Structure 1
Amino acid sequence: MTDFGGMAAQIDRHRAEMGQDRHGEVVQLLPTLFVWRDPATIPPRPWLYGHHLLRRQMSVTVAPGGVGKSSLTIVEGLAMASGRPLLGDRPTDCLRVWLFNLEDPRDELERRVIAAMLHHRIAPEEVEGRLFLDTGREQPLCTAVQGRNGVQILQPVLGRLEAQLRTRQIDVFVVDPFISSHSVPENDNGAIDRVAKEWAALAERCNCAIELVHHTRKLNGEDGTSESARGAVALLAAARSGRVLNRMSETDRDKAGVKDDPATYFSVTRDKANLAPTSQRAWRRMASVQLPNGDSVGVVEAWEWPNAFDGLTVANLLAVQRAIDGKHPRKDPQSQGWAGYIVASVLGLNAEMDKARIKQLLTGWIKSGALREALIPDEKSRPRPCLEVGEWASV
C-alpha cells in the first residue's frame, strides 16, 4: 500500500530545504524596509473570546482528568455561538464554533450541551446554525502518524479539515483531547513541534482560532501550570495562549468558606500569554443539572470568590467593637482568648468552620483602623498582642 501521507511529508521537507513553497516556487528572501505608520491605523488584535482565543492563532488548555475541561469548552462554545457572557467573558460577536470531541459518544455530548443550554437558559434559536458538534467515535481525526522515516503529516486529512473550516466559516475550532488527534510519540519534541505548528498554520490559513485541549502529567496533588502538560513542551511553545485548570484545594476551600464538595470547584489560570497580560485565577463550579430523562449532568458555571464582608453592615462592626471594648482579646487565632470567638458570637458564625472568614474580617478591620493592636501583659506579665477598639464606627 502506497504511503501517500509519508510521501507528501518528504516532499514538503525537500522543498523547504531547497527554499521552495508547497507549489514548488522559489521563496525570495528579501529584506523589507520598515516604514512608520500611524498606530491608530494598525488593526487591533482580533480577540474572539477573552484574551485566550485569538483569530489566526492556536491556544492550549491543560487540565488533569475529571476536572471539567470538556464541560468548560462546551459552555464556552455556547457562549461564543450565542454571543452571551455565560462565564463572564463576552465574545466579540455571535461566532461559529465547531466542537470536535475525540473520546465521547454523540449522545453523551448532546446530554452535556443540552444540559448546559437548559442551565444557562439558552434557547435553541440562539445558537442555531452556529454550533457544530462532532465525535471521534463517528469521524476519526488523526493529523499525523509516526512512519518509518519519522513524522508523517497527513496532508489529505488537513486538507479536508481546511475545506470544512472555510466552507462553514468556522471562527473557533476546539479539538478535545489533543492526544487523540495524532499518533506520534507525545514525548518527542521534534514530532510534537511539527504537529503543533501544522495546527497553528491551519488557524492562519482559515482565519480562525484553534483550541487544543490537553491533559497534565501526574501532579501528585500539587497545582499544575500550563507547563505541566503531558509530553513534549513543544505544544505549549507553539501556542499563543496557554491556560491551566486546577481543582480547588482544601486550603482554598477553608479560605473561601466552601461547605459542599470542593471537587466541584476549579480555577482557570491563563499563565502563558504571548500577546496579552497573564490573568489571575477565575473560578468555576460544576452545577448538577437534572434532565427530563432522569440523567444528572455536570454543567460549568461562573463562581466568584466570596468577599468576607459580604452581607455585613456598619451596625455589625459597631456590635463587634462594643463586644471587644475593654476586654483586650488576643490577636493570635491559636489562643483560647482569640478575638475571633467574640466576632463569631456577635455575628452568628462558627468560630471553627468560619475561621478563615473571621481572620479576614479582623485583618480588614485592623487595616481600616476600626480595631488596633495593643501589647497587653498576660497573667505572667508577659506582653501579648491583643486587640482593642480603634476608631468607633458610626451608624
Structure 2
Amino acid sequence: MGEETLDQAVTPVWVLHPDFRNDRNRRDPDFALEEAVSLALAMPGVDVVGSDVVPVPKTRAGWLFGKGKTEELKQLFKTVKVDLVLIDGPVTPVQQRNLEKEWGVKVLDRTGLILEIFSDRARTREGVLQVEMAALAYQRTRLVRAWTHLERQRGGLGFVGGPGETQIEADRRAIDEQMVRLRRQLDKVVKTRALHRKSRAKVPFPVVALVGYTNAGKSTLFNRLTGAEVFAKDMLFATLDPTMRSVELPSGKQVILSDTVGFISELPTQLVAAFRATLEEVLDADLILHVRDISSPLTEEQADDVRQIMKDLGVPEDAPLIEVWNKIDQLDDNAKEGFTSKAEREENVFATSAVTGEGLDALLEEVSDKLTDPKTRREITLPFSDGRKRAWLFQEGLVENEVQTEDGFVLSVYWTARQEKNFREL
C-alpha cells in the first residue's frame, strides 16, 4: 500500500517583538525579531506570513500595547487572515485574554512558544516529563480569575473540594496533583540516570560536553565526530535531550561526548529549572566545549547568555573549557582569515567548521592533551578479602609490581587522579 500524502494543516502566524524602550537590558530589536521568527519556524505546521518590531514606550497594564497600536494590529491581522500571533516577550494572562478577544486570534508569548517547540522535540522519557512539568507550571499561571459570580462556582457532593469551590481552584488543584504525579515519575527517571552516570564513572573515559547557544552547530559537530545521526537541522532547539556517544580521538584516547540542549537568551525560568537535570551532564563533564556560531552578528551576546546560564547551573568558573568558533565556512574570506588568526593567538580557542571539517584535527589534539592526566606512582596494600579491587587494578593495567605478604598484597600502581578516584569509589 502506497504512502498517503496528506497536507498538514498550516497555521498562518504573525511574529511581534515588543521593543520596551525603557528597558536597560533590551536587545537589538532587529536581531531579536530575527531570532523570534526562527523560533516560530521551529514550530511544526506554521507559516510565518509577517513580522514586526513594535516600539513600546509605555506598557498598558491590561493590554501591553497602546490603544492605537492595538487597533492598527487588529486591522492588519484581519486583512492578512492570521490565526496565531506570537509575541516575543512576556505576556500576562490578562493581556493575553484581552488581546485574543480584541484581535480574534490565538496569542502565544515567548514562554508558551518555547514550550510548544520543546514538547514537539523532546525524545527521551525524562525530556518528555520535564516538558510536561514546565508546561503545567506555565499553565497554572494562566488560570485567570475571569469570573467571580456564581456561574463560575460549582456545587458538589462534598467528595472533592466541597460545595462552592470555584472552578479556578479546582483547575489549580488538578494541575497541582498532576505535577506531584509527574515529579514522582521524574524522580524515578533521574535516579535511573544517576545510576547510569555512576556506572559510567567507573569506566575510565572522560566526559566531554558540548554546550552553546541554540543553532550554534553542536549537533552537526557531534555527528561529525561520532558518526551518530542526531537530529541536526538549521533550526532552533533541534536537540532537546542529551545524547552520549563514545568517541576515539586521533591519539587513541577514548572519551564520551555529550550533546546538550541549546541555550537561548531569556530562557523562561520554568524551563531553566525543568532542564537542569538534563544539563547535569555539563556539571559532570571533565571538559566543556563551548560551541559558538561565529558567523552570527550576535555571537558575543549569545556567548554571554551561555556563560550566564552555565553560571546559574553551578558550573565552576575555572572548569576546563575550550571555545569552538564554529561555522567559519559561512564567513567571507577576509572575516574567516581574521577569526582564524585571532583564534590561533588566543588560548583555548579554535576556529572550525563542523560541516567541512576544517580546524577539527587541531581541536581534537587539544581535547586529547587537556584530558591526558598526569600520572603518579603509589604503593597500596590490599587485604586478601579485597579481591575485586585488586582485579580492577589489573584489568585497568595500572599495576607495575605486586608482592604477596602475610596480610595481603602490596601493589605498586601508576595512575591518574581520575583512576585513583574511581578506585576509591569501588
TM-score (norm 1): 0.28
- More helix as a share of residues: 2
TM-score (norm 2): 0.26
Q: Which structure has the higher relative contact order (CA within 8 Å, separation 6+)?
A: 1
